[in-house]
Each structure stands twice: as C-alpha cells, then as structure tokens.
Structure 1
C-alpha cells in the first residue's frame, strides 16, 4: 500500500515513523529527502509545506523502504556521500566515508602547515573512493598526491571523484606501497582494513552487508594491513617524514609499538577522535635522519 502524503513535511514524518517501526535510525529520512530534492536542511524547512514532486516521491518511498527492510545505506541509495564539505561518488565497491576520517585528514593538513614543506609528496594507501587523496590535494597547497588501491573497481570510483573535483592525482593498482615502492614521499596516509574477523558478529548490517569486506577486515586481529605497510616502508630506500593511520579504537598501543619496532627513528603518537576514542596514530621522523 502506497503512503498518501503530499507535502514535504508529511513525507518526512511518514518516513521517520516507517523507519522507527523497522528499528532504523530516523535521521535517514531527512538525509534521503535532502538527497532526492537536492536541498539542504534550511531550505527544506522553509518549503516543507510545498507538495512533493511525484517523481521525487516515488524514488523517496522506494529508498526508504529499501533502507528499512535491508539496511542498504543511505549513501548507496543516493550514490554519493559528504566528506569535508564536498560530495563524493560512492558505490558498494568502496567504503562509505566516516566523519572520523575527516579528523585524520585534518591532522595531516596541520602537520604539513607546521612543517612548511613546499609541494609535499603524499601517498594514500587503500584509497577506496579517493576521499583522503582528493581532500589532501585540495586542502594542502602545492601537494603532489599519489593514491593506491588493490581493487580496480575502487580505483574507477576514485578516478571519477578526482575528475569531479578537478584534481590531478596519480592512481596505481597494487598491494599498498608496492606499486610505488621506489618513489619518495613526505607523507604516507592510510585508512586500511583494521577489523578482525571475530568482530563481525558485533557489526551493524548496514556496514557488514554493504561495505566491501576487502576494505573492512584484516587478519592478525585486524593488524595485518599495518604490518604489511610498515614492512614495505622499512624496505623503502627513502622513508616518509610522516605516517598517518586510522585505527580501530583498541589498536593504538599495538600499532604504535609496531611502528617503533619496525621503523627505528619514528616516534608514534595516538590521537583520539571527537568521541574520545583512540582513532589515529601519527608517527614522524626528523628531516635530518
């Protein structure tokens, strides 16, 4: 049975109640409506008593039901996600951007400004949709950015996002640093897979059923990707000046210890996210070393 609402306000109310009945976050109603209208929240409030376009209504109802019944993420239904104030294409081949990752990028930006390195060379490992690489290219003046991913499908999404935001990024397919092992970089940044297989039972279906497993899970209790990257860095002729990793909230001490063990001369620092949980590890070395 089709809902009988006509206005934008009624559409939002119907969707919120429908999602609540299916134990889904009601905020998805607002996000979907904004997405299909192409409006922000303020504009929606100003025009909430206006009738909803029939085509928008049809797509909105379909998306709300899909999210309620299957958990399909709002971002997949809309085909895009917001990151650092910009819209990026997303598909089931890439991770949906998380707000915590913005803090990782912000930390890289602050370090680059403090060090005053002209035209810093940056490599983003496991780039996925390209959000880190593209944001760094846009926000760090003069930066030269390279991005790597093992997934060809993910690289196609990243390349599309780079074209959308008009940035020149070099993309490579391969196992983390391996395709660019002999190239020098000032900054290495990565949000690699860090969830252990044992944690699957605790995960929400909107993540488990729709985000790519390749980008989520890692062996060795979620630490295998860090070990792989750090081993590659250890064998590189020239080490970066900064390593910046997103981590699982219980992995700070382990990743820090791994860095300092495999890369003598690097000093690691664990940083918390906006929720007060360990979420990032930054490790730097002096330029003269």
Structure 2
C-alpha cells in the first residue's frame, strides 16, 4: 500500500487516524500505541520523539488491517501482535490463554514483598501463559517454581514463554493442586477463574479469552473453594497463599479461607484503582 492509498503519511498522522477510528467505534484508544510500538519497534517515548517521521510504507498495510480487525471483530490487539507486555517482559499469548492484566503485576509485587523464605517452593495454580510463575522465578532466582493448568494448550504456551525467557519451571497438567499433591509447598499463588457466568463482559474478552480461564461456578467462587479444599485434603501448610480476586469478592473469599484453614492471618488488599483485588493469607508464626 502506498502513501497515497493510506489515510496517513507520518507516525503522528497514523496515530491520529487510528485514534479517531477507534473512538468513533467505541473501542479503547490506548490500543493504538500498543500497535504502533509493535509495528514500528519503538518505545512510547520514541513514538513521540519521531512522530513527524514518515510511516514506513512496507508496514502500513499490516497496521491498517490490524486496526480495522480490532474495530470490526473486537479481537485483542495482543492476539494480533502475538505477544503482551507484563512486568517489563514480553510474553507470547493466543486464544488458549488470558491476556495479562496490570492488576496481576500487583499480585506478584505483593507476594514478593511478603515471602519470608530465601528459597521458597512456589506453585502457580492455573498458570495460563505462565506470567506469574515465570516472573516470580526471574525476580526470585533462588526459588523453586511449579505451575499447573487444566489446559494442555495453555501449558504449551507457558513452556514456550519459559524457554524464551530462560525460566526454569516444572509444569504439570491437572486441576490446581491435584497433580502435585505429594509436593510440600511454601507459597501458593493463583489468579484463578473468578467471573460468574451471569456477568456480561466486553466482546474483546468474552469472544477471545478462554472461558475456562474466566468463568467459575458458584458465582465465581468455585475455584477458591476447590483450591482451599485441596490444601486441607493434601495436608499442606503453605506459609503464604496469594489470590487475585474479583473486586466484589474480598470479604467472601476471606471468610472462606478463615473457615477452611486454621492459623492464617488473612488480608484483603486493593489495586491501584482502589478496588479489592488481592488476598494474602499468611501462616501465623
């Protein structure tokens, strides 16, 4: 596609064209910068610094097609790019795994701050693309990381990400703790499916994120109950349990933990948007 055929000539004009197109279509305008950064292999600050430079002609067709496909179908731009940023690293993503959310970075940060052991055995339940397990291993190299997921396709994506980022992790297919029930663990961390089937989601999420990773029975609480029941059944005593939760689930998940497990101090913590988003249960000394 030549400059004459494209609705823009410079990087700035491309940004303006795509932003207006997305705005008129009630799509999130911020995805424009993600697509531009990916297409042009530039950081956000470089985008602004070079905004008057010509938009490379050989990259125009892909960029226009990607913007149009997102507008008309709702397909996440991360699927179009094949990757998503998380905790300063790029992870491969596709239709088999959830797209990483910024709130999960806060779950990891809180876990790193609360872990007491120098070389803990950590298990990531429902690992998906592996973002939690891989990030924890790279941020705490002395730890031993285990990761489980019910989806064989998700585990393949996670293994690919672990290989790319040189993270030594043991992966297991199965229902949360079930495949590693004989393994003592120090830290359990999970961003499980916690959305009720009755909840309405955007087409970008509902049509493209795997439902197995999104929805749970019992108004979104089934996964937490399963994990807690497994902890009791397998006689595990992790020093720290870290859950990501729906913003209205804090009190009920806290109550579940206190009812099923003895000796834990349970705290609800808010995300950057001041919404309940994390629960940390620490085994009392």
What TM-score bracket applies, with the shorter chain setting the length?
over 0.9
CA contact (8 A) 2:7 2:17 kept: no
How is 1:157-236 mapped onto 2 (pairs within 5 angstroms)? 157-199=157-199, 201=200, 203-236=201-234
**Normalization by structure 1: what TM-score?**
0.95
2:131 match: 131
Q: 2:25 aligns with which of 22, 27, 34?
A: 22
2:147 match: 147
How is 1:79-98 mapped onto 2 (pairs within 5 angstroms)? 79-98=82-101
1:48 match: 51
CA contact (8 A) 2:97 2:209 kept: yes
Q: Map Cα deviations across residues 186-232 of structure 1 (whole Å, 9 max, x no partner).
A: 00000000000111x2x111111111000000000100000000000
CA contact (8 A) 2:7 2:14 kept: no
Q: Map Cα deviations across residues 220-263 of structure 1 (whole Å, 9 max, x no partner).
A: 01000000000000112332111000001111111111111111
SS at match of 2:209: coil
**CA distance in 2 between partners of 1:34 and 1:235 (Å):** 48
Unaligned runs of 5+ in 1: none
Distance apart, 1:70 and its partner CA = 1.1
CA contact (8 A) 1:172 1:179 kept: yes
**CA distance in 1 between partners of 2:221 and 2:5 (Å):** 48
Distance apart, 1:272 and its partner CA = 0.6
CA contact (8 A) 1:126 1:190 kept: yes
TM-align CA RMSD:
1.3
Distance apart, 1:270 and its partner CA = 0.7
**CA distance in 2 between partners of 1:276 and 1:250 (Å):** 12
**CA distance in 1 between partners of 2:5 and 2:240 (Å):** 55
CA contact (8 A) 1:7 1:51 kept: yes
1:76 match: 79
**Normalization by structure 2: what TM-score?**
0.96
SS at match of 1:197: coil
Q: Map Cα deviations across residues 27-79 of structure 1 (whole Å, 9 max, x no partner).
A: 21121111111110111122222222223111100000011111111111111
Distance apart, 1:2 and its partner CA = 5.0
Unaligned runs of 5+ in 2: none
Range 185-194 or range 70-79, more displaced: 70-79
2:255 match: 257
1:286 match: 284
CA contact (8 A) 2:96 2:154 kept: yes
**CA distance in 2 between partners of 1:4 and 1:278 (Å):** 43
Q: Does the alignment pair 1:241 with 2:239?
A: yes
CA contact (8 A) 1:182 1:237 kept: no
CA contact (8 A) 1:133 1:147 kept: yes
SS at match of 1:283: strand
Range 222-231 or range 74-83, more displaced: 74-83
Runs of 4+ residues over 4 Å off in structure 1: none
